Amino acid sequence: MPESELPKAYEPASVEPRWYEFWEQHGVFNASLDPKDTRPVYVIPMPPPNVTGSLHMGHALYTIQDVIIRHARMRGLNVLWQPGIDHAGISTQVVVERQLKREGKTRHDLGREAFIERVFAWKEQSGGRILEQMRVLGFSADWPRQKFTMDPDMSRAVREAFVRLYEQGLIYRATRLVNWDVESRTVLSDLEVETEENVQGELYEFAYQVAGADASLGATELVVATTRPETMLGDTAVAVHPDDPRFTHLHGKKLAHPFVDREIPVITDPVLVDMAFGTGAVKVTPAHDFNDFATGKRHGLAEIAVIGPNGAMNEQAGEFAGLDRFAARKAVKKRLAELGLARGSKPHTMTLPRSQRTNSVVEPMISTQWFVKMEPLAVPALEAVRAGKTRIVPEEWVKTWEHWLTNIQDWCISRQLWWGHQIPAFYCVSCSHVNVTRADPTKCEKCGSAELERDPDVLDTWFSSGLWPFSTLGWPDKTLALERFYPANDLETGYDILFFWVARMLMLGLHFMGEVPFRRVLLHGMVVDEVGDKMSKVKGNTLDPLDLIQGAEFENLVKKSLPDAPLDEAMAKFKKAYPSAAQMGKGFAAYGTDALRLTLVSYSPQAKRIALSPARIDGYRRFCNKLYNATRFALAYVADEAPSGAVPVATLLQNRWILSRFARAVAASTLGIEEFRLDDGSGALYHFVWDELCDWFLEMSKPVFANGTDAEKAETRAVLAHVLEGSLRALHPYAPFVTEELWQRLPRPASRPVSLALAPYPGAADGRADAAAERDMALLMSAVGVARTTRSENELHPTAKVPLELRTADAHARAVLKAEARAIEFLVGTAGPVVIAEPGGARPAGTVLDVAGDVEVLVGLRGLVDKARAAERSARALKAVEKDIVIMTKRLENKNFVANAPPEVVTEARAQLAQLERQRARLLEARKLIEEL
């Protein structure tokens, strides 16, 4: 097939892999480190997906970054989109340990070194899968620079950062109450704990006996309320409010613990106790509750841990030792009842902390961990945003940023895992000195002993991720890449990791590099289902981007999403989540990557929720086909029309107009990308290509190519070639595959780059603003639109020819319409020449009269309409309108409505009634017309 010829149908499945391979082979995405390359740089650090991950809709939103990156590359900048993978400590270890469990083994059976080898082997098998899937989505990252957070050079950077912070007194080791994940048996940072809302629990009440109390002298017990009876085994006090008169007589008294040989004091604390909640007395368990821990510090209470790392009660729990914490809850309640100390329970709605990684209920637990002092790091980060060194977009997140960083707690960075960066701390067995070193020591730096034991813990994954903008560029070495590509221009990511990742990068970048790591933080929302619910496997509403790109039957989708649910139940959940899917038969068509990308950028990236609609994806599939077919049409005329790059001279109205509209569209696209409003940018191009280039300009070019003069044909060919080529360049960042396929088929000058991805992005100067052409074309479009509507409303056959007369008192308008008579006759499908005249005279029989601004549009229908069908259609429409008029009239006659409804609602109702009455008048006129046909 000749290069300029295109197959009749666009097949994304055959086009997309071919062009992605072409781009990689030609190094299109690679940043330049050539010292002679003086181009300005543009950098986005790609958020590294987890090594455990597979593609989901959140990753598909990396499309936003790719649009920005491709646009920058087409602007001639030296672009780096730094890709990589995160080792994802907890998630990865959980996956591999579950594999071992299926084999009847644990990591302890393998030992640390063998277990880590096993994880690396798993990573090699599956870790790159998500990056291959990203290629399917067309992401133009600099893949040869790909990094893994546990690569040797990355590990060296992590160790250097830890040692420096330790030497500067910003990392320390302490015993604190921490969030503990009993399933993965590791500490969690506050950000790794998710709060489950509206959990239905109970507020259980039981009594402590006052030690040595004489019943004849008054109350001998103090009743407390708790949601966690099992932790009473670790109680070291009961607190009451100092101003609560109910308990004044108990101040300073001791209470007898019913299960362990311990007396606990009654303390007063106005901070912990709310007199109106529960019984007004609060049991205090410093080792298993954060508020109680703080209370214990204020009062010097003992911290007695009764729950072990595995979630079971330990030896401090006495007779309950060995029971799982939830089994112990039931057992403690049973024994309290047997002792006559149970005082009943009440339903209680509460929150429940869960591990983000394993979903297990988080257990507050006393533990010795490593921490980073955050205030000295947070203050410069706060100031950087306040001073505008880094902008957060949208700005509504700045207030949240301020709140979080001004109230920041020290960061627990140690994790009780084997997979990750092992903490470079070595404990001397002889003198207990802690050696923190850049290289593994052979002896203690304090006493010289060779008996050293390394800390078994690893660092929080977010510690290494926080170094990403500069560790990927060679830090701590002073490399050319670091000098050239730090700081990045933008960071684009989801708002949900603003504090997990963005804040830590900003803090650590400022600390180690002395400069912010990025100038802007662009935050997008969360992709949710079509009705606005968060995607989850439990709801059966998750979508795999590859299923949308390559096509999939609904039955297979729901089986994948809800494998254990009955098929009809799973299907019902899916169609409830995606109502538009009900119109799509048995499954999704193969929409192709470009359709999905265009859909994702059509939503405001700044919205907190992006409700994904399959119908919208299908709409963009049709748009890609429209662009493809338009190019097929154009190639028949412009195959030999190699554009020079200069804006063609244009005299014909449609040519002047399309150049002016093109200038507007590309300017809007550039502004949308630069201002992080890709919905506006892509929407401007969509409207231009579909509604203006295809629906008007190409249609108006047909009579020129058929019957125009040689000069008119030449001019139109030049304009068509120029605008089509420019439109493909403008659309390329949004829809890279179809635009590359089509652009490569267009005639090309010898100097054209090897790929559309390297061609210059068009600007307003690639068109030519022409207000007069836009004004005159609007007049023509309005008149033709009214005539076409008349044809459509009367269900004329597409080939039927109609008499057409246009009347206007405006001399300029008549001149324009006369000059464009050829186009009008073609677009409307007229029977003979269009008549252009001044107003006057009666409406000819059998003619529909309508108006387009100041132009009267008369369309002759005699002999072209089935009178019986027209009468039936008119009667139905009139009946419906009159019914609506009755309803609206009654509403407006209701004095309560008029008096109480908001003024704008009443005004809108009156406007609707007026419109309905105009419709009725037109329908009555149309009924008279039918008799004339």
SS3 344: strand
Contact between 136 and 142 under an 8 Å Cβ cutoff? The reply is: no
CA distance 464 to 150: 9
614-769 belongs to which CATH class? mainly alpha
Sole residue written with tokens 């105009």? 918
Q: Do residues 746 and 725 lie in contact, with contact meaning Cβ atoms separated by under 8 Å?
A: yes
- For the chain, helix, strand, coil in percent to 5 are 50, 20, 35
554 near 571, Cβ under 8 Å? Answer: yes
- How far is the C-alpha of 30 from the C-alpha of 27, rounded, in Å? 5
Cα 94 → chain centroid? 26
Are 825 and 805 contacting, i.e. CB atoms less than 8 angstroms apart?
A: no
Please choose, from the candidates 363, 378, 391, 607, the residue with its C-alpha nearest in 3D space to the C-alpha of residue 489. Answer: 391
The candidate with the shortest Cα–Cα distance to 793, out of 622, 623, 925, 619, is: 925
Q: What is d(CA 473, CA 485) in angstroms, rounded to the nearest whole number?
A: 8
pLDDT of 16: 97
Between CA 393 and CA 402 the distance in angstroms is 14
The count of C-alpha atoms lying within 13 angstroms of the C-alpha of 484, restricted to the half-sphere facing its C-beta, is: 22
Strands 254-256, 263-268: parallel, antiparallel or unpaired by DSSP? antiparallel
**Angle at CA of residue 322, ends 320 and 324, nearest 5°:** 90
Q: Do domains 199-356 and 614-769 have the same CATH topology?
A: no
The 10 Å Cβ neighbour count of residue 8 is 7
Place of tokens 């579950």: 98
What are the CA-CA distances from residue 502 to residues 356, 496, 681, 920 (Å)? 18, 10, 26, 60
Q: Is the dihedral of CA 649, 767, 628, 691 positive or negative?
A: negative
Tokens of 797: 């056959």
| Cα 762 versus chain centre, distance | 28
Asked whether the CA dihedral 655, 656, 658, 663 is positive or negative, the reply is positive
Ranges of residues in the chain with a pLDDT under 70 are 1-4, 53, 214-219, 932-933
What's the CA gap between 488 and 81, in Å, rounded? 10
- Adjacent-strand bridge partners of 458: 415, 422
Match 């909640």 to its residue by tokens: 277
The helix (run of H) or strand (run of E) holding residue 443 is: none
| Residue pair 250/222 in contact by the 8 Å Cβ criterion | yes
Q: In this structure, which topology does domain 199-356 adopt according to CATH?
A: Isoleucyl-tRNA Synthetase; domain 2 (3.90.740)
Contact between 192 and 504 under an 8 Å Cβ cutoff? The reply is: no
For residue 462 the two structure tokens come to 């977010």
| Backbone phi, psi, residue 487, to 5° | -80, 160
Cis before 762? omega within 30: no
What is the predicted pLDDT for the residue at 1?
31
Beta carbons of 550 and 61 less than 8 angstroms apart: no
Strand order in the sheet with 186-188: 186-188, 171-181, 363-372, 411-412
| Residues 211, 64: Cα–Cα separation, whole Å | 67
Residue 924 and residue 933: Cα distance in Å, rounded? 15
Give the domain ranges of the chain: 199-356, 614-769, 774-932
Contacts of 486 (CB under 8 A, 6+ apart): 43, 469, 470, 473, 513, 515, 517
Contacts of 322 (CB under 8 A, 6+ apart): 312, 313
For residues 570 and 574, give the distance between their C-alpha atoms in angstroms, rounded to a whole number. 6
| Residue 240, φ and ψ in degrees, nearest 5 | -130, 165
Distance of alpha carbon 578 from alpha carbon 543, whole angstroms: 10
757 alpha carbon, distance to own chain's centre? 25
Q: What are the structure tokens assigned to 828, written together?
A: 């409307």
Q: Considering the entire predicted model, what is its pTM?
A: 0.87
Whole-angstrom CA distances from 787 to 693, 839, 845, 849 are 20, 17, 17, 9
Residues 586, 574: contact at Cβ < 8 Å?
A: no
Q: Which tokens is 629 given?
A: 């077919």
DSSP label at residue 606: T
In this structure, what token pair is assigned to residue 133? 């899937």
Q: How far is CA 613 from CA 153, 529, 770, in A?
A: 43, 7, 37
Distance of CA 808 to the CA centre of its chain: 52
User: Can you tell me whether residue 200 is helix, strand or coil?
Assistant: strand
Cα gap 140→131, rounded to integer Å = 11
One DSSP character per residue, 913-925 reads HHHHHHHHHHHHH
Task: Give the separation between CA 47 and CA 495, rounded to whole angstroms.
Answer: 12
